[in-house]
Amino acid sequence: MRSKLPRIGLVLLAVCAFASALPAAADETCQSPYLPRLVGQEDFVYIWTLGIENVGDGSDKLVTIGANPAKPGYAKVISSVSVGGRHEAHHGGPTDDRRQLWVGGLDDSLIFIFDVASDPAHPKLVRTLNDFPQKTGGVVGPHGFYALPGRMLISALSNAKDGGGRTALVEYNHDGEFIRTIWMPEGATYGYDARIKPELNRMLTSSFTGKRNYMRKLSELLGDAEAMKNFGDSMVVWDYHARKPLQTLKVPGAPLEIRWALAPEHHYAFTAAALTSKLIGVFRKPDGSFEAVEIADIGDPSQTPLPVDISLSADDKHLFVDTFMDGKVRVFDVSQPRSPKQIYERKIGPQVNMVSQTWDGKRLYFTTSLLANWDGVGGDDAQFLKAFDWDGKQLSPRFEIDFRAEKLGRPHIMNFGQAGLYKTQAQRGVAPGEPG
């Protein structure tokens, strides 16, 4: 699949593409619908962090930050668990019982499984899967980790044969046992994100690029005109239960994160096209098929703001869009989904990548890392976690942690935790048979 974007401007567009490889679904409102909702005040933020050579132990690690102002350890590092080596720490997500957190490395395709239930303040590494390509039939680059009932759905980016964009969806059970590989369909072979709308029995997938592109140094890639053409320009609509592709939507410019509207009666989703800085709506038509429509610019596309992660509020009214190169978050009113309006923007730092939102919409967290080889392309390689309050109109700072000063590395994907999440119903004062 080859991009038809003009040759001019590809240098800047490449940066956008790599910036966008790193966002993914970690904020509470965009987690799998098969997870128990984490409502109320979160106690912890778990951050999958890329190691930096000669900074601390130099290893990738899972870092736990205190997030509850009413408890000890607020706004501080509570624990840090190194996995040994640097694997291009990227994305991760919890199992459907939220007792495990699965995280992966884009470089060597290792998958690390943490127990976050036994002691939520101090997660423990309990298993490492080191044979992902062998078990899956040559899939590499485990990217998204999305909870299904009793299973983990892993969306990947590449393959072991040629490191190109042909890739697959993979399923494992909670014991770390491989179940099946589902290759992307012909004509839409690239992968990136996967999201499910249970009410419609529909799954959407999006597209990026292969390993031989996403792991190269920027200077090398920019000098390779052929490599610059190899980015995805499609989204696939699936029958979720059958895992069968039904429709391919053409979305130029590498559509990345997918956010379904949360209300059952809202039959649409949003994504951001990295190479074109366009906000895209995917809408269900009266005949049950879908269409992809450009609905807004994200900043000034001519200035390549580089849209990365996005987060949709639980009431389907506000969409937060991070842009890496200018370090900003832009907030769109999407209550009229076909005609969104930008209502707010704020500069978070010299660069920003991930955004994670609490279910109640009152707090947002931001981290900075893209890929180890791409951070700091704007000249300032700041690495931080920043927390904000959101009152529906503006963001107000809560706290900040400088990951370089703490010798931790490059903070990437975020997941939330609560100390009381794993208590029994009796311990929480819930009568037998009542919702827990």
* Per-residue pLDDT tens over the stretch 23-49: 334 579 999 999 998 889 999 999 999
Yes or no: say if 206 and 188 are a contact pair by the CB < 8 Å rule: no
The amino acid sitting at 176 is G
3-class secondary structure, 301? helix
Given a cut of 90, whether residue 426 has pLDDT beyond it is no
| Domains of the chain, each with CATH number or no CATH | 10-417 (2.130.10.10)
Name the residue with higher pLDDT: 189 or 20: 189
End-to-end CA distance of the chain: 47
The stretch 142-157 carries a mean pLDDT of: 97
Provide, rounded to the nearest whole percent, the portion of the chain with pLDDT above 90: 78
Given a cut of 70, whether residue 436 has pLDDT beyond it is no
* pTM score over 0.85: yes
Name the residue with higher pLDDT: 17 or 270: 270
Residue 222 has what pLDDT?
60
Residue 336 CA to residue 317 CA, distance in Å, equals 8
Residue 82 CA to residue 76 CA, distance in Å, equals 17
Please report the beta strands in 274-383, taking only residues with DSSP state E, as ranges in sequence order. 278-284, 290-297, 307-312, 318-323, 328-333, 341-347, 354-357, 363-367
| Other beta carbons less than 10 A from residue 195's beta carbon | 23
Is residue 398 within a helix (H) or strand (E), and if so which, with residue range?
strand 395-402
Cα–Cα distance list, 391 to 138, 206, 360 (Å): 47, 32, 11
Q: What is the CA radius of gyration of the chain?
A: 20
Give the model confidence (pLDDT) of 260-319 as tens digits. Answer: 999 999 999 999 998 899 999 999 999 999 999 999 999 999 987 889 999 999 999 999
Question: Which of 17-21, 213-217, 268-272, 347-351 is least confident?
Answer: 17-21
The rounded Cα 16 to chain-centroid distance in angstroms is 16
Name the residue with higher pLDDT: 170 or 227: 170
Give the model confidence (pLDDT) of 51-84 as tens digits. Answer: 999 999 999 999 999 999 999 999 999 999 999 9
Reference 260, options 242, 240, 230; nearest CA is 240
Parallel, antiparallel, or unpaired: how do β-strands 139-148 and 124-129 relate? unpaired
DSSP codes, 83-139: -SS---EEEEEE-TTSSEEEEEETTT--EEEEE-SS-TTS-EEEEEE--HHHHHTSE
The stretch 391-419 carries a mean pLDDT of: 97
109: confidence class by pLDDT, cuts 50, 70, 90: very high
What is the chain's length?
Answer: 436
Provide, rounded to the nearest whole percent, the portion of the chain with pLDDT above 70: 90
372: confidence class by pLDDT, cuts 50, 70, 90: confident
Residue 374 CA to residue 357 CA, distance in Å, equals 25
Largest CA distance in the chain: 65
Residue 428 has what pLDDT?
41
Yes or no: say if 96 and 32 are a contact pair by the CB < 8 Å rule: yes
Q: What are the two backbone dihedrals, phi and then psi, of residue 277, each rounded to the nearest 5 degrees?
A: 55, 45
DSSP category for residue 244: E
Residue 153 CA to residue 146 CA, distance in Å, equals 5
Yes or no: say if 127 and 111 are a contact pair by the CB < 8 Å rule: no
Given a cut of 90, whether residue 414 has pLDDT beyond it is yes
